[in-house]
A and B are shown apart, each in its own frame.
Chain A
Amino acid sequence: MTPEEQRAIRARQRSRSIATAVVLIAMVILFFGITLAKLSH
């Protein structure tokens, strides 16, 4: 594998990691909100 290819793969992994982190944080906030909403009923 060439250095350019390695760099491209690293960049793709980084962008996916960031996207995964954003989705996970959003899910944590959502389920926290769902819990509060259920408790308030």
Chain B
Amino acid sequence: MTISVPANAFTPIDPALMPADWRDLVALTKPRVLTLVVFIGLCGMLAAPGHIHPILGFAAILGIALGAGGAGALNQWYEADRDLLMKRTANRPLPAGRMLRETALHFGVGLSVFSVLLTGLATNWLAAGILAVSIAFYVFVYTMWLKPRTPQNIVIGGAAGAFPPLIGWAAVTGDIGMLPLALFFLVFFWTPPHFWALSLFVRMDYANAGIPMLPVVAGEVVTRRQILFYTSIMGVAAMAPVLLGLTGLVYGITALVGTLVFAAMALQVSLRREDDPANMKPERRLFKYSMLYLFILFGAVVADRWVLAA
């Protein structure tokens, strides 16, 4: 098996002889993405009615983290050649030539299978089943099928990242309620504006790698309009829990203020006509705020639940 090594990479020893560094194995799991995934899974668990033993709860959250990490590793295994073409990803362990592709494949499959077994044994098989579906969706539907084929990749693929609240909730209750479903749709409709804001200022990276992200295929103006469009749907999804009576005012007020700020930023981005990444401060601000937004809203769901319970 051969692996691609960039010309400027420093590879002192053939990766076929050198065992992969454990730090590179950790990097395969995309630790920064894991933070958000684990947090929204934890919030799904804490918002659920009922009680779970802390050790079992910890095991369920660990299961979500390991499952997401396994899916991330399989994503990097499959996309190693494309990652080499993008500045943002060229230094990942596989494109940089620090690891064999088989190592990433074995690590990803092992981690994914173990995460599902751990979740099933510690909590219940509904939670484990949803975790298995989310991993399969991310790897097969998003990474292998949608991402290289259609600019709608992250619209449909966004479902993969929306499962953790369902898993956390199911780990406690053994079923799927209306609130985690509402949170699923919140993350689902949050994903397009989040990723399209990013793709505006890394458009050339995606173009070089041949990934048909919306700005590459349809252009910058259409992408900006679509960001605003999906932000408005996301706003409805964000207010749905309080409008349906699933949460109280703590969440309602937080969601309203947070969403209005999001919408104002999205409106500004949609009205701009700027295609130089160096001048895309509002786009970068929207991307960063979108992550904070999800943290705040999910935190508010838990705070709301605890206020109602008090």
Contact = CB atoms under 8 A, between A and B. Distances in A.
Contacts of A33: 55, 59
Given A12-B18, A13-B19, A5 B55 contact: no
Interface string A1-41: 10001001100110110010000000000100110111011
Contact of A16 (B22, B53, B58): B22
B17 interface: yes
B13 A37 contact: no
B53 A40 contact: yes
A12 to B, nearest CB: 5
Given A12-B18, A16-B20, A16-B21, 11 more contacts: A5-B13, A8-B13, A9-B19, A12-B19, A12-B21, A13-B19, A30-B55, A30-B59, A33-B55, A37-B56, A41-B53
Interface of B: 12-13, 17-22, 53, 55-56, 58-59, 62, 121-122
26 contacts: A1-B17, A5-B17, A8-B12, A9-B17, A12-B18, A12-B19, A15-B22, A16-B19, A16-B20, A16-B21, A19-B22, A30-B55, A30-B58, A30-B62, A33-B55, A34-B55, A34-B56, A34-B59, A34-B121, A34-B122, A36-B55, A37-B53, A37-B55, A37-B56, A40-B53, A41-B53
